[in-house]
Every structure is written in C-alpha cells, then in structure tokens.
Amino acid sequence: MIFMDFEKPLETLYDQLEKLKKIEEDSKIDMSEKIAQLEEKIKETKKTIYSNLTGWQKVSLSRHPNRPYTLDYIRMITKKFIELHGDRCVKDDKAIVGGLAKIDQQSVMLIGHQKGNTTKLRQFRNFGMANPEGYRKALRLMKTAEKFNIPVISFIDTPGAYCGLEAEERGQAEAIALNLFEMAKLEVPIICYIIGEGASGGALGIGVGDRVFMMENTWYSVISPESCSSILWRSWNFKEQAAEALKLTADHMESFGLIDGIVKEPLGGAHIDPEAMGKALKKHIKSQLAELTDVPKDELIARRIEKYCKMGKFVEDPSEQGEVVYEHGT
C-alpha cells in the first residue's frame, strides 16, 4: 500500500498488523484477539482521518498513484469498448481516450483524460495533459454521438491542458473554446464526471454537460494549489493555504452551484476498492441516463445553456454605490 503524508498513523498501524500476522504464522501462537483489536483501531483511525480532510489532503488523494483512471472505469462499467482514434487533422492524442461502448443495453460515447499507471505510460499519455488534437478528437467523437443520437459521458482527470509551444502553435485555446461552444448546443445528453484532477481549461474542454458530478476526493479549479502558491507567495511551500483559499473541493463546488452532485467514494478513496467504486459509478451513470434520455432536444439544450448562464452572475447593490455582489448557482 502507498500512504500519503497525512496517512502516516495508518501506515504505522498496518505495519504493526503485518508483524502480528507474521508472528502468528511463524510461531503458531494465537494472536487473533490482538489482531482484532488492531483492526478495530485501524477502522477508528480511518474514520478520524478521512472525516476531517483538508483541501490539500483531498488534492493529494486525487493524485494517488493507485487511483483508477478513465480506462480503468471503462473496463469496470462496460463489457465492450471500441476505442476511436485521431482528430483527422494532426494525429491521435494519447492523453484523451474515447470510443463507443455499451452500459448494459445503453449505447454511449465515452471520452476522458488518461494518465497512465507507470512512468513509461505516464510519459506516453503526457501525464493526462491533452494537446489541441486531443480536444479536436473529443469533439469529433461528440459529433459522431450526436449523429447517431448516443449520449456522451466524459471523465475528467487532468492537471491542465498541455501548454507547450507546439500546442500553442496548433491552436490550444481555439480548440478548447470550440469545444465549449459545440458542447453547449450538442443535441444529445452529456454527463461529466471529475474522477481526479479538474484543472482549468483542460478540464472544461470536455466538461460542459447537462450534469456535472465530482467524486468525493477530487478537485476542480482554474489553477492548481502549487501554481497559485507560486504566484501569490513566490513559493510552492504555501500550497496548503492556497488549496483552502481556492475552495476547490467537491463540497465547495456543490455549495457554489457549479456542480450537480458528489459521487461518494469508499472510505480512504477510490483506490482502496476500485471495483466498488466502479459499481457505484455505473449505477450513478445509469440513473442519470434514465432521467435525461427522453428529454426533447430543444429543452435539453435550453436547460444546459441556462445552467451555465446562471453561473458567475454579478449584480450591483443599490444600497452601496459601486459595490458588487456575487450570486452563484441560482
């Protein structure tokens, strides 16, 4: 098991548990009572730690190396997935995967960021940072889904769109902006899930939907805590304060009206029990599809546009000249 810094008390307890089990196995001495006591202590420690997570701790969990990625969830929620490649212009971007699949009997178009589980795969996937061709591939798949009246489901997990020189030369900002425009008026249901990191335009490029949900230990913000700390304090050492100031967790996003709900994770994070997380996600997707599938196209688009038009509305308070009051969500 891999433990985060704030999980060190758990690491110590698990080490003790492992030693007790080894002693029992080697010496044939009955240690069942002490093992049971230690397991109970681990449960209590877990509840204490995970019920009081800070913003930075949730950011850390969202980046856990064992956390399931898009292809892991696709494997768990579908029986057959046909991956589609390329943007028909430059090349196939490995940081975004997508294709046709069936969730039980419902055909869907699945699109998501993919990071990779090993160092080589992370380099191959560019750490989930998509180039313009990745967003253009995603748009091509969405348009294909629209043509055949197939709902779109997107999985968001990116530290941001790739900001290299070649990405800018090929129109990174234009590619993301076009996706926002086209997704707003796509004639099929779009359901978006933030399954890890949801950073900036890289997340929004496949994140405009009728319903947007965040998993419990994920984050969604215009900037990462480290980058925010670097700008405000000229150092990464204040990333914990930046995470709190940014209010980037699922709880904050829901309270602001920027997402439609939170998908609960197993205690300790999705990586603790990926299969259980996959089953919960599949059940959640099916319930959302059942609500959206029969909504008329015109109504679907009107609701989607209205949803985003309500975000970030500013009104002037007539009682205080020049003072601006921020209204969110409603």
Tell me the CB-side half-sphere exposure of residue 327, using CA atoms within 13 A: 9
Task: Inform me whether the pLDDT recorded for 323 exceeds 60.
Answer: no
pLDDT of residue 320: 57
pLDDT of residue 315: 66
Task: Inform me whether the pLDDT recorded for 330 exceeds 50.
Answer: no
Is-contact 66 271, C-beta < 8 A? yes
pLDDT of residue 327: 58
| Same-domain pairing of 36 and 78 | no
54-80 residue pLDDT tens = 999 999 999 999 999 999 999 999 989
| Same-domain pairing of 140 and 162 | yes
| Same-domain pairing of 223 and 160 | yes
Other beta carbons within 10 angstroms of residue 66's beta carbon come to 12
171-194 residue pLDDT tens = 999 999 999 999 999 999 999 999
Q: What is the 3-state secondary structure (H, E, C) of 117-181?
A: CCHHHHHHCHHHCCCHHHHHHHHHHHHHHHHCCCCEEEEEEECCCCCCHHHHHCCHHHHHHHHHH
| Same-domain pairing of 279 and 256 | yes
| Same-domain pairing of 96 and 156 | yes
* Percent of the chain surpassing pLDDT 70: 95
- Reported as a pLDDT band with limits 50, 70 and 90, residue 263 is very high
| Same-domain pairing of 106 and 158 | yes
Cα four-point dihedral sign 128, 131, 137, 143: positive
- Reported as a pLDDT band with limits 50, 70 and 90, residue 32 is confident
pLDDT of residue 174: 97
Task: Inform me whether the pLDDT recorded for 321 exceeds 80.
Answer: no
- Reported as a pLDDT band with limits 50, 70 and 90, residue 126 is very high
- Reported as a pLDDT band with limits 50, 70 and 90, residue 318 is low
pTM: 0.91
| Same-domain pairing of 75 and 205 | yes
How many domains does one find in the chain? 2
Q: Which of 147, 150, 141 is nearest to 103 (CA)?
A: 150
What are the start-end ranges of the E strands in the chain?
81-83, 96-103, 106-113, 152-158, 190-199, 211-215, 219-221, 261-263, 313-316, 324-327
284-296 residue pLDDT tens = 999 999 999 999 9
Task: Inform me whether the pLDDT recorded for 326 exceeds 80.
Answer: no
- Reported as a pLDDT band with limits 50, 70 and 90, residue 25 is confident
Is-contact 99 110, C-beta < 8 A? yes
pLDDT of residue 328: 56
- Reported as a pLDDT band with limits 50, 70 and 90, residue 304 is very high
* Structural domain includes residue 330: no
- Burial letters 144-183, b for 16+ CB under 10 A, else e: bbbeeebbbbbbbbbbbbbeeeebeebebeebbebbbeeb
239-253 residue pLDDT tens = 999 999 999 999 999
* Structural domain includes residue 327: no
Is-contact 81 110, C-beta < 8 A? yes
Which range marks the domain in which residue 39 is found?
5-52
DSSP letter, residue 106:
E
Calculate the average pLDDT of the chain. 93
Q: Which of 138, 272, 145 is nearest to 203 (CA)?
A: 138
Distance CA 243, CA 119 (A): 26
Is-contact 190 152, C-beta < 8 A? yes
Q: Quick one: average pLDDT of 68-96?
A: 96
| Same-domain pairing of 127 and 87 | yes
Domain containing residue 293: CATH number: 3.90.226.10
| Same-domain pairing of 18 and 111 | no
Task: Inform me whether the pLDDT recorded for 273 exceeds 70.
Answer: yes
Q: Which of 192, 127, 116, 179 is nearest to 158 (CA)?
A: 127
Q: Which of 329, 288, 327, 285 is nearest to 306 (CA)?
A: 329
Distance CA 38, CA 20 (A): 9
| Same-domain pairing of 83 and 132 | yes
150-163 residue pLDDT tens = 999 999 999 999 99
* Structural domain includes residue 325: no
- Beta-carbon contacts of residue 256 (< 8 Å; ≥ 6 apart): 247, 328, 329
